Amino acid sequence: ARLVVLISGTGSNLAAVLAAIEQGTLTGAQVVAVIADVDAAGLDHARSCSIPTAVVRLADHEDRAAWDRALADEVASHAPDLIVLAGFMRLLGAPMLERFGGRIINTHPALLPSFPGAHGVRDALAYGVKVTGATVIEVDAGIDTGRILDQRPVLIEPGDTEDTLHERIKEVERVMIVDVIRDLLQAAPVGPPTTTLEADRNT
């Protein structure tokens, strides 16, 4: 299956996916492109693995709608079966959802539906919850509202800061994102994962 990974940051989740493919623990998958909305540090890792990269910057487009179309065009040019948002910090617009809906997954650093949005770790800490975690969802038009595919807890420890907590959550995310991709590909080995996602919805 052809994976396109979208990032905005360091790309440690991307690195985990690439390592799993390299080590043979995620078979049948290849990352055919890594696309970012900024000059994300994770692009360097993709380049060092000879994976095609692209940066689709909002500032290079006339408005948000034009950026949405450009992003969808760039993604489409790589003919993906599955699109993985791995720390991609922008909402997807209609062009992405219309073309790839049901084939996009996102990892979020909190136990949804609690603490959606860009500051899931900070918000959980500020609220004072004792357990938070990570969630992988199927992306829909809302802010972290899509169907939950997997979810794992992380305990908050005394003295945790946003950084220390986020690091422990990311350790969990890196394992979970690979597990979810493996499950999706195993469930739909010959076709795009959308087949499975949509079939599930009707049961």
The residues of the shown chain that bind ligand GRF, judged by CB under 6 A, are: 7, 9-14, 42, 86-87, 107-109, 170, 173
Closest residue to ligand GRF using C-beta atoms: 87
- The residue among 73 and 167 lying less far from ligand GRF, judged by its C-beta, is 167
CA dist 25 and 122 (Å) reads: 32
Has 90 been labeled as part of a binding site? yes
| Burial letters 34-61, b for 16+ CB under 10 A, else e | bbbbbebebbebbeebebebbebeeeee
Nearest CA among 64, 95, 80 for reference residue 6 = 80
Active site residue 119: no
Check 45, 78, 108, 166 and give the catalytic one.
108
- The residue among 79 and 143 lying less far from ligand GRF, judged by its C-beta, is 143
DSSP 175: H
CA dist 148 and 43 (Å) reads: 28
Has 106 been labeled as part of a binding site? yes
In the complex, the smallest distance separating the C-beta of residue 73 from ligand GRF, rounded to whole angstroms, is 24
Has 47 been labeled as part of a binding site? no
- The residue among 103 and 174 lying less far from ligand GRF, judged by its C-beta, is 174
In the complex, the smallest distance separating the C-beta of residue 172 from ligand GRF, rounded to whole angstroms, is 9
- Crossing angle (nearest 10°) for helices 120-127 and 162-187: 120
**Structure tokens belonging to residue 57:** 């910057």
Has 69 been labeled as part of a binding site? no
- The residue among 92 and 188 lying less far from ligand GRF, judged by its C-beta, is 92
In the complex, the smallest distance separating the C-beta of residue 163 from ligand GRF, rounded to whole angstroms, is 11
In the complex, the smallest distance separating the C-beta of residue 91 from ligand GRF, rounded to whole angstroms, is 12
CA dist 196 and 199 (Å) reads: 5
3-state helix, strand, coil in the chain (%, to 5): 40, 20, 40
Has 6 been labeled as part of a binding site? no
Annotated binding site for (6R)-10-formyltetrahydrofolate: 64, 89-92, 106
Annotated binding site: 11-13, 64, 89-92, 106
Catalytic residues: 108
